[in-house]
Structure 1
């Protein structure tokens, strides 16, 4: 019988895959020896494989270039990175190697932009598209950026008051975009997005507040779909509605020349993941071409805002199975040495699934298990894999440590989990490793952030730095790390 873990994976998926392979009986990810990481740094750990960020950016830019050439499209393409997916300096530094632009969503984003400008990472030619609901500090920061000469900063108007707020702070002419409040999918609890201005109100808003305003120039229409760019009737219907608004607006607003098709591409969340990126891009370009030709208006320059697609597939997390609890005759709980709520909050908050596989012991027999975190919260668990409705891992053996990996976790998890701050049940944040390639293509890695200590957590809580001997506090936490 084929009862080994390697047999299960081979029978369930096409394996190996471009990013996943085996080195003897252990898993590699983009040729990274994951067990070497564990042996060097211990588990739990998180890592970011920086080259994957550039790889995904270049793939998207090539897909758009191909579609533009194929469809004889007369507009340009601009790739923007959504900073909210991951604000880390190492992520922005890697992404900006690829001649891209920035999309922001809050006041402090502008401080990051100014920091990057000071370092020469971006210039005044870099588009900074400012989304989000804007009040007070965000408005002031946008104005500061524009007043200091960043002409390609485009605040996207989200509501009827923002234009006047911006005009009061900005002392020069400036460009703006307008965000469309798209209709949500039928399964949503509400009909229309809370963000942006309704389809029917876009043209009246332009005529009322922008058309005769000599300080403001409308450059962009922003179209965002919460569920992302997907090949379904809902997406194509909303795109057609957006294009009708664009062509109507273009006929009365000559300065309008850009369409931002926000709403990102999906990323690989299963070993069985399939998505035809090239087809979707080609069809989007084709639909824009057809609609603008029929309306006899020039096609717009295309902007995209890819956050998860940019950084998601660069991230991963590795845990050790600490113990197995047999709670009844059918359920075995493998306890990880961390928490899903704190380190992969999307698994708990929105039931998101990431790629999960054993890191080692692929030649051992497998068993069906549930995965539990260390917190005392009943929701701290992960109980099924997409397309399998169960989790299978090599059999737990106390004398043979088992490590598991979650992959493509690079977007949102650190910020939602509160990187560097308090964690549920005071479970410390795991160490974080940066992985790169040197000039010879050799994989290198270094520690970006160590595991949180009790002193750090106690300081946040107001206790200050406490001596364990004076207060009888045991700061040793062997259950969280084998290093």
Structure 2
């Protein structure tokens, strides 16, 4: 009878997979010995495997290169990293090794850009695509960047007033983009995105505010939908509407030469994950080419803004099962030594699922469990996997510690969770480890941040010793 955890995984998935392997009944991730990591640093811990960032950038560039070559597409491709997914210096340093550009969302992003320029990580040739609703400090920071000579800083106009606000502070000519306010899927509570300008209003807006404006050149049309790049009738319909706007604009605006299709490549959230990236890229490139050819306009240069895709699959979190509570005849609660609300907030906020696997004891019998966090909050739990609607783990034994890992957690979790700040119920933030490889491929680990102490949290709360 197949009752071992390894049997369950073997029966449920194709296993091993590219990044997940098993050795001596213990899980490895990109050939990282996770139990060795636990023995060295303890648990809970979070980690970032930096080489995966470069790997995903390279994959996307290859898909677009192949599609452009296959369809004899005359435009170029530019990969931008969406900084809001993870602003950390180690993430930007790794991403910028790959000849990419940057997309920003708010004022302080520009301060990061200035730091990167000062350290030589980016240059005036790097595109800085400035999205978001712009007021006050963001406007000033964009203007300062442009006035310092960074002409490839392109503010994406989000509302009707932003051109006037920017022009008041920018010296000389500058380039802009316009964001389309896409229509959302029927399941949304609203019909149109709050971001950007409506489809029907863009050409009239251009004619009124840009066409005769000698200070402003329109370079880019920006398109993004909340559900991401997926092979659905909804996505292709919205892309087609976007292309019609591009064609209408191109006919009246000779400086328009770029189409930004935003981000939204999915990342693996289950070992059953399947997505044909190359097919999607080829279809997008082909649709753009055919539509432009039919209209008799030149094809645009393509920009993308991949955030989660860039950094998401580089991250992971490891917890220890502290205790098991049998709450009724059916429900066993495995209590982790941390909190889902504070360390993986998307599991609580938007019911997001991550790849979850046991780290050790794969040769033990398994059981169905629920996972609970340490906070005294009823929402601090993780109780289902997308493929089975249940969680199965090696049976809890007090005398044999069990460790579990959540993978592909590298996007948004630190910023949404308030890295370095207060944590719900004052459960401390785990230590964070950076993992890299040297020129010979050998793994290197570095402690990026220690687990929070009581002093860290009490100082934030005003109970500082020196008060």
TM-score by length of 2: 1.00
Residue 24 of structure 1: aligned partner: 24
| Alignment match, 1:472 | none
**2:64 paired with 1:64:** yes
- Deviation sequence 1:228-278 (CA, Å, 0-9, x none): 000000000000000000001001100000000013200000000000000
SS at 1:224 equivalent: coil
SS at match of 1:291: helix
d(CA) in 2 for partners of 1:169 and 1:396? Answer: 63
Contact 1:227 1:263 in 2 (8 A): no
Q: CA deviation at 1:444?
A: 1.0
Q: Deviations over 1:363-385 (max 9, x none)?
A: 00000000000000000000011
Q: For residues 281 and 263 of structure 1, what CA distance do their matches in structure 2 show?
A: 12
Match of residue 481 from structure 1: none
After TM superposition, give the deviation of residue 408 of structure 1 in Å: 0.1
Taking the aligned partners of 2:88 and 2:40, their CA distance within structure 1 comes to 23
2: distance between equivalents of 1:180 and 1:240? 13
Name the SS of the counterpart of 1:60 in structure 2. helix
Q: Name the SS of the counterpart of 1:388 in structure 2.
A: coil
| Moved segments of 4+, more than 4 Å | none
Cα distance in 2 between the residues matched to 1:389 and 1:442? 38
Shift of 1:57: 0.1
**Alignment match, 2:450:** 450
CA offsets, 1:407-441, max 9 Å, x none?
A: 00000000000000000000110000000001110
For residue 145 of structure 1, what is the aligned residue in structure 2? 145
Q: Distance in 2 between matches of 1:420 and 1:237?
A: 42
Q: Distance in 1 between matches of 2:133 and 2:263?
A: 17
| Counterpart position of 1:113 | 113
Residue in structure 1 matched with residue 301 of structure 2 by the alignment: 301
Alpha-carbon separation, structure 1, partners of 2:23 and 2:320: 19
Cα distance in 2, alignment partners of residues 328 and 87 from structure 1: 44
Distance 1:305 1:439 in 2: 29
Rounded Cα–Cα distance in structure 1 between residues aligned with 2:172 and 2:457: 46
What does residue 284 of structure 2 align with?
A: 284
How many angstroms does 1:466 deviate by?
Answer: 8.0
Q: How does 1:324-343 map to 2 (within 5 A)?
A: 324-343=324-343
Cross-structure match for 2:230: 230
List runs of 5+ in structure 1 lacking aligned partners. Answer: 468-483
Residue 474 of structure 1 corresponds to none
Which residue pairs with 1:184 in the alignment? 184
Task: Say what the alpha-carbon RMSD is for the aligned residues.
Answer: 0.8
Determine if contact 1:50/1:91 at 8 Å carries over to the other structure.
Answer: yes
3-state SS in 2 of match to 1:451: coil
Q: Secondary structure at the match of 2:223?
A: strand
* Residues 160-199 of structure 1 mapped to structure 2, 5 A cutoff: 160-199=160-199
Contact 2:317–2:407 under 8 Å retained in 1:
yes
**Separation (CA, whole Å) in 2 of partners of 1:453 and 1:143:** 41
Q: Deviations over 1:294-346 (max 9, x none)?
A: 00000000000000000000000000000000000100000000000000000
Number of residue equivalences: 467
**1:377, 1:163 → 2: CA distance?**
46
CA contact 2:263–2:307 (8 Å) conserved in 1: no
- SS of residue in 2 equivalent to 1:338: coil
Structure 1 counterpart SS, 2:261: strand
Partner of 1:470: none
Q: Deviations over 1:124-181 (max 9, x none)?
A: 0000000000000000000000000000000000000000000001012100000000
Q: Which residue number corresponds to residue 2 of structure 1?
A: 2
* 8 Å CA contact 1:455, 1:466 repeated in 2: no
- 2:320 paired with 1:316: no
Contact 1:226 1:263 in 2 (8 A): no
Alpha-carbon distance, 1:465 to partner: 3.1
Partner of 1:52: 52
Give the aligned partner of residue 266 of structure 2: 266
Give the structure 2 partner of residue 38 of structure 1.
38
User: Aligned with 1:266: secondary structure?
Assistant: coil
Aligned counterparts of 2:263 and 2:173: Cα–Cα separation in 1: 29
Q: Aligned partners of 1:434 and 1:418: how far apart in 2?
A: 19
In 2, Cα distance between the equivalents of 1:23 and 1:387? Answer: 25
Q: Does 1:86 align with 2:93?
A: no
**2:333 matches 1:349:** no
| Residue 216 of structure 2 corresponds to residue 255 of structure 1 | no
Name the CA distance, whole Å, in 2 between partners of 1:122 and 1:263.
21
Contact map agreement 1:93 1:121 (CA 8 A) in 2: yes
Q: Distance in 2 between matches of 1:197 and 1:241?
A: 13
Aligned equivalents of 2:24 and 2:13: distance in 1? 19
SS in 1 for 2:342: helix
Give the secondary structure class of the aligned counterpart of 2:291.
helix
- Measure, in 1, the Cα distance between the counterparts of 2:75 and 2:6: 49
Q: Distance in 1 between matches of 2:173 and 2:124?
A: 15
